[in-house]
Amino acid sequence: MSTDIRITDSHCHLDFPDFDEERDQVISRAVAAGVHRMVTICTRLDQEPRVRAIAEAHAPVFYAAGIHPMRAAESPLVNVDDLVKLAEHPKFVGIGETGLDYYYTAESAEVQKQSLRVHIEAARRTGLPLIIHARSADQDMARILAEEYRNGGYTCVMHCFSSSAELARAALDLGFYLSMSGIAAFPKSQDLRDIFASAPVERILLETDAPYLAPPPHRGRRNEPAYTPHTGQKAAEVFGMGWAEFAAQTEANFGRLFTKAVL
């Protein structure tokens, strides 16, 4: 795997305790593997200072912040102005992750919907991309994204996309992006790979969602940004492209969407 090829891990969680004992080394291994840029995601605003500090301490790391849908009912509803204020930081490059998760937390669906709309408004005001988590909520997700887009445009990535072809098409029709995680490299994920194959390659990003969802040959172990190329090489096959060509394409895609994440 050539380290002359540079790619971006568009979604990871470097603040999670899984990395506490070797965070610097994890980042160094990523860079050595050709992952020259990482976006670490804050899922609870009370953790934002910690996530920000990681980005400030490491040149290749940028960050985004929001309230994960599974956390939406645990704290007061997030304020648009607070998110806009956080976005003033030079290394703050996205809004979220936010979204809907009815698999684990269907009981808080209404709060999740309110929180999602707040994050969308923050993305609209700041011009930064919205980072969406969607699980077992395809119909509501497609409806809210479209309703809000009619109220004013915004940009968006469907992070760790593993939902239906219908939600993929709804997102793509709005001009949004789909992100491929280690799930797309799992042997039994052919249906998901087929969904990605039908998308424009110009709308594809790569991510790890580390410490979760390690791709083969690391499946079942802690994931880390250095493993992004394993997903990327499988993704290149999906699109019938060479690894270098596909990596360059995803770099261009990331730069087009995450306009503040400039090294």
Specify whether the backbone of 136 is left (phi greater than 0), alpha (psi in -120 to 50) or beta: left
Can you say which residues are annotated as belonging to the binding site for a divalent metal cation? 11, 13, 97, 133, 159, 209
pLDDT digits (tens, 9 = 90+) for 44-101: 999 999 999 999 999 999 999 999 999 999 988 899 999 999 999 999 999 999 999 9
Quick check: 3 pLDDT over 80? Answer: no
Record the tokens describing residue 125, joined without a space.
């005001």
Determine how β-strand 35-42 pairs with β-strand 177-180: unpaired
pLDDT digits (tens, 9 = 90+) for 175-216: 999 999 999 999 999 999 999 999 999 999 999 999 999 999
Q: What is the pLDDT, as a whole number, of residue 75?
A: 81
Among the four given CATH numbers 3.40.640.10, 3.20.20.140, 3.50.50.60, 3.30.200.20, the one describing domain 7-257: 3.20.20.140
pLDDT digits (tens, 9 = 90+) for 108-157: 999 999 999 999 999 999 999 999 999 999 999 999 999 999 999 999 99
**Measured CA distances, 84 to 48, 65, 80 (Å):** 13, 11, 6
Sign of the torsion angle spanned by Cα atoms 222, 224, 226, 229:
positive
According to DSSP, residue 200 is labeled -
Domain definitions of the chain by residue range: 7-257
Task: Please state, in angstroms and rounded to a whole number, the distance separating the CA atoms of residues 85 and 189.
Answer: 40
Q: Which of 75, 126, 122 is nearest to 97 (CA)?
A: 122
Q: Which of 104, 100, 5, 87 is nearest to 45 (CA)?
A: 87
Count Cβ neighbours within 10 Å for each residue of 79-108 and write b for 16 or more, e otherwise. ebeebbebbebebbbbbbbbbbbbeebeeb
Confidence of residue 107 (pLDDT cuts 50, 70, 90): very high
Can you say which residues are annotated as belonging to the binding site? 11, 13, 97, 133, 159, 209
The reported pTM is 0.97
